[in-house]
Amino acid sequence: MQQFSKHYTAIYPVLVALLIITTLFSIRYGAVNIPVQTMYTALGKAFSNAGNATLYERIFMEIRLPRALLTVLVGASLAAGGVLMQALFRNPIVEPGLVGTSSGAAFGAALYFVLGATFHFTAGEWTLPLAACAGAVIATGLVFILSESGAQKNSVTGLLLTGIAINALFISGVGFMSYIARDPQARSITFWTLGTLSGGSWHAVAIVFVSSLTCIGIALRYSKQLNLLMIGEDEAQYMGVNTKNMRRAILLVNVIMVATATAFTGVISFVGLIVPHLLRMLKGSDNRFLLIAGSLCGGLLLSLADIAARMLVQPAELPIGIVTSVVGVPVFILLLKRKSRQYQ
Amino acid sequence: MLSVQNVSYSINGRRLLHGVTTAFSPGQLSLIIGPNGAGKSTFIKLLCRQLPPLHGQILMDGKSLDEYSSRQLGIKRAVLSQSIEVNFPLKVWEVVMMGRYPHYQLKPSAKDNQAVEAAMRYFDVWDMAERDFTTLSGGEKQRVHFARVLCQVWYAPKEGCRYLIMDEPLTFLDVYYQFQFMHKIKDLLNNSDMVVIGVVHDLNLAARFADKVILINSGTIVAQGKSSEVLTESNIQAAYQLKPVVMHDKARDTVNLFFE
């Protein structure tokens, strides 16, 4: 008798190793290079609470390390969100932002900048992410509520179309905000909608760590049900899945995970689209594999993009969203071409 | 046993099914026929609990369909719908294995693996096990789905019957595979706890293979029973507005239909 299973075990250690190497590289190199020795002493001092850190040790502990970790976690969240949304919409060219999460977050942030300028408060470490998160939750909630009523009730198509409409609404909202904003706020909005990893504090790392691990853990429990969705929503129901409950759970997991990540970094596109695609070409469509490998791969890809963003225009840095788009768009078009050839 | 008692369904005030009463017994092949828009698909959806009946009730093994959880249904009842589109690269065995999903949590057991292999061999798709499902032809895909739904109900459940419900299963098959499929389904019915229900368009296939033919027209069952009783000249003409020539095949106790 044949044992049906695929062997994914070989790819995980490879991805973990690559991720560690890339992360170390991104910590070590930048506007200033941190010697490995300094990393050791900084960590030693941090754990023994010795308060006499040197400048390089402080750069390492307060800037490089949290930034590198945040990058990995945000990349993982976005890629896992991409896996979930593609499975849920039964469509391999879907992004986590599709249900309004990213545009909602961007609108929340833009509104915050504009109101801040009017009422004279400035972006705090907490208030901006909170505003973004609120925007994301409102937009996604709207998509969800609207798609559960009306003719397209409970269908994936309905959700998709509602998502497109709400996205358009919130993107024009962002446009309006940057139109009425004065110069510094307008710049902030632009910067935020292009994504930035420079806000990587330990608080951000802790929050995104908790949200991404919890959400990916919950999503893994649904991986089999998501597999069934690949052959159809009715089919999944015939094979014992309560698709309505599953859709709610997956959307909730996705909005928490992506909104939290987006709240601290701004809009970073294409990671959630490209990563699951690449992995599917490599090893097929099993969602359990895609979630685990996708998280690792997403962290890896965003780390690489961050290295590029910091190295290319030293000592300044490019917005990370520009780097992911510049890399992502050609890859995406290649994938589309490949896809259409398949169908011919 | 699946029994349908005085079931009606309407949408936006339009009556799609009205006062439908019938029963599907184990060991029998029941085939539903009827013209386009007669309510066949609606009927199948009600049988699969995709739609709730407006009036009446549907009992599976004596228990109302509503009382089953999704998973309980998935364990004893497999459904093949009309058209299934897959946009993701999946190996053929991965698609078939999905039929076993209701039966295991994390990893398929030896029993699950055996069912997958047996069902694939049964429908001649074993040789394609490692191929990409999306590259198969329409007929090949359909046979893979046969294997999937069959392996879902491969073993007899702890109690009650197992059910196989198929909406137009013959669509993508050539004549050879249509007949082969019907023979294989008949062989499956040697299992005394197997209930098979299908919608077909080919009246002669229905006549030849069905133990029970159910003719639906304008949302009601016009006739049901043995093919020679249901497929009469007047029934067919009333339903399809086409006058048939009915030839009795005494040896097989069935009828052949010709249209002019």
CATH number at residue B29: 3.40.50.300
* CATH classification for the domain delimited by A11-343, as one of 1.10.10.10, 3.20.130.10, 1.20.1740.10, 1.10.3470.10: 1.10.3470.10
CA-nearest residue to A280 within chain B is B89
User: Cβ–Cβ of B77/A238 closer than 8 Å?
Assistant: yes
Cβ–Cβ < 8 Å for A117, A275: no
Stretch 45-104 of chain A: residues touching chain B, C-beta under 8 Å? 90-92
Cβ–Cβ < 8 Å for B199, B41: yes
What is the count of structural domains for chain B? 1
Average pLDDT, rounded, for chain B: 93
User: Cβ–Cβ of B108/A4 closer than 8 Å?
Assistant: yes
In the sheet where B162-167 sits, what is the strand order? B77-80, B162-167, B194-199, B29-33, B212-217, B220-225
Q: What is the DSSP letter of B91?
A: B
Q: Where are the domains of chain A?
A: 11-343
**Average pLDDT, stretch A233-240?**
91
User: Cβ–Cβ of A237/B113 closer than 8 Å?
Assistant: no
Q: What is the CA radius of gyration of chain B?
A: 19
Angle (nearest 5°) at CA A110 between A183 and A248:
165
Element (H, E) at A336: helix A320-343
Higher per-residue confidence, A33 vs B57: B57
Task: Enumerate the residues of chain A whose CB falls inside 8 A of the CB of residue B137.
Answer: none
Of B75, B90, B114, the CB nearest to A284: B90
pLDDT of residue A98: 76
The count of CB pairs under 8 A between chains A and B is: 87
Among A92-101, A214-223, A260-269, B61-70, which stretch is predicted with the lowest mean pLDDT?
Answer: A92-101
Q: Using 50, 70 and 90 to split pLDDT, how confident is the model at B38? A: very high
Checking if the pLDDT of B167 tops 50, the result is yes
Checking if the pLDDT of A150 tops 70, the result is no
- pLDDT, tens digit, 9 for 90 and up, residues A271-293: 998 899 889 888 889 999 999 99
Let me know how many helices (H) and strands (E) chain A has, helices first: 15, 0
Among A84-93, A106-115, B146-155, which stretch is predicted with the lowest mean pLDDT?
Answer: A84-93
- pLDDT, tens digit, 9 for 90 and up, residues A102-122: 899 889 988 988 888 777 766
Select the residue from A223, A225, A231 to test the B interface by mutation, using most B Cβ atoms within 10 A.
A231
- pLDDT, tens digit, 9 for 90 and up, residues A166-217: 999 999 999 999 898 888 888 888 888 888 888 778 988 999 999 999 999 9
Put simply, whether A344 touches B (Cβ < 8 Å) is: no
Owning domain of residue B255: 2-259
User: Cβ–Cβ of A284/B113 closer than 8 Å?
Assistant: no
Cβ–Cβ < 8 Å for B119, B80: no
Q: How far, in Å, are A7, B79, B95, B99 from residue B147 at the CA level?
A: 24, 12, 9, 8
- pLDDT, tens digit, 9 for 90 and up, residues A27-72: 998 878 888 888 888 888 888 876 777 888 888 888 899 999 999 9
Q: How far apart are CA B95 and CA B97, in angstroms?
A: 5
Q: Using 50, 70 and 90 to split pLDDT, how confident is the model at A3? A: low
For the ranges A272-281, A295-304, A307-316, the maximum mean pLDDT occurs at A295-304
Report ipTM (2 d.p.). 0.88
Put simply, whether A157 touches B (Cβ < 8 Å) is: no
Cβ–Cβ < 8 Å for B26, B195: yes
Peptide bond between residue A92 and the one before it cis (omega within 30 degrees of 0): no
Phi-psi region of A223 (alpha: psi -120 to 50; beta: other; left: phi over 0): alpha
pLDDT of residue A343: 45
Q: Is B162 helix (H, G, I), strand (E, B) or coil?
A: strand
Quote the minimal CA–CA distance from A339 to chain B in Å: 10
Quote the minimal CA–CA distance from B120 to chain A in Å: 12
Element (H, E) at A73: helix A65-88
User: Cβ–Cβ of A342/B134 closer than 8 Å?
Assistant: yes
Put simply, whether A244 touches B (Cβ < 8 Å) is: no
pLDDT of residue A233: 87
Angle (nearest 5°) at CA B175 between B171 and B180:
95
